[in-house]
Structure 1
């Protein structure tokens, strides 16, 4: 129940929130555009952490991938296209390589070229601080960040492997010197951890 006073009280003090897997539409139906969704965002503003796995990862983007209540085969579903927006301008899909979802994300990007598409492999997570994503775990994240003005020779996506970082603002992998410089600066305390199991 999205108006549950106990949950609201807990979220007002929470330093972290974890979204489990399942079906994305259930999270939308329960929390989208409710006071609880506002409290989720308040956790981040206070410097807390938001994380999730599978459907709990997908819900964190602006655009909700595979939100159809009738099944997860459809990438887009009218009425179920909004996620919680913890990562503005982003669409997240999971189980990416394992379920061969590259063409799905390419199609989504053609429909919504302004979005950054993130495809997270199983047993892999991404940690986002500000405009930087670090990949951890066993595999990779595919970043679909090609823009309509990019030449046709640009690849549809870039692979970010475990241990690497990607700068969303610069739209590229960070080199070793940039990572060392970033590590020397005070960290942005608010972050999201998104994984695919």
Structure 2
């Protein structure tokens, strides 16, 4: 199936500049490199109408939407975006409101902020808003961008809870259904900074068909046609491929006991590297063997 939309998933802590400071202009030079070459600029560049694209910032995952939303508006406006607004959907009935649905239908980009991914899916999952979102992603030149919770919720399977330090103890990682834009992957965020590799290991060993994606902060993946992934941003993307696992004790140990895994394959991507979900092959852009 040919998917016309693009998926941009971000590991959190997007360095969009400190717009809470009053001396923005004084600090513009230090922020400029991110604005020109970073993730938010890439979102605009990938969109149908570039700076004229209609953008909706969706703050549903956040418990402080009135603080988070305006930060993204200011950041996109600094990049010359001309048509941006905030959709704060706090209750399920709002996800059936005709005015809100009309705004979603008109959007070229939706930017899902961070927060709690379970809050996001429990409010939006199975609503008319969710149905329209999926239809636009499959059939229009449309961008779903999500950071932190917005990224974790993009796939069919979603990690919503699990201690980083105890993540390789059986039962410590909790998985639910996400928004279902992409299948065959499971996404974790704030990955390097919060030491979450064990969470992804456990998620993958329980279903080795699923590719684990660990996104560092200010780091993301641009996914086209749900098959081709390109690393963007300043940090690392960790991929965990369980298809070649040879052995594990997962079904033999009690809840709370350590899990053993033999022959789990990992890849590390940085900016401009690509990975194909069809062939499971990675291409390092600046390979020393090129």
Instruction: Confirm or deny a common fold (TM above 0.5).
Output: yes
User: Considering only aligned residues, what root-mean-square deviation do their CA atoms show, in Å?
Assistant: 2.2
Aligned to 1:101: 196
Conserved? CA contact 2:219–2:234, under 8 Å: yes
Q: 2:217 aligns to what SS in structure 1? A: coil
Aligned to 2:277: 168
Distance 1:134 1:161 in 2: 9
Say if 2:233 is the partner of 1:140: no
5+ residue gaps, structure 2? 1-93, 248-260, 286-290
The alpha carbon displacement at 1:174 in A equals: 2.5
TM-score scaled to structure 2, two decimals? Answer: 0.54
Aligned to 2:159: 65
Aligned to 2:180: 85
Q: 1:66 aligns to what SS in structure 2? A: strand
Distance 1:104 1:87 in 2: 20
User: Which one of 127, 130, 137 corresponds to residue 34 of structure 1?
Assistant: 127
Count of residues in correspondence between the two structures: 169
Larger of the two Rg values belongs to structure: 2
Conserved? CA contact 1:23–1:67, under 8 Å: no
Distance 1:175 1:102 in 2: 21
The alpha carbon displacement at 1:156 in A equals: 3.0
Structure-2 change in CA distance of 1:175 and 1:94 (3 Å): closer
Distance 1:109 1:155 in 2: 9
The alpha carbon displacement at 1:9 in A equals: 0.8
Q: 1:157 aligns to what SS in structure 2? A: strand
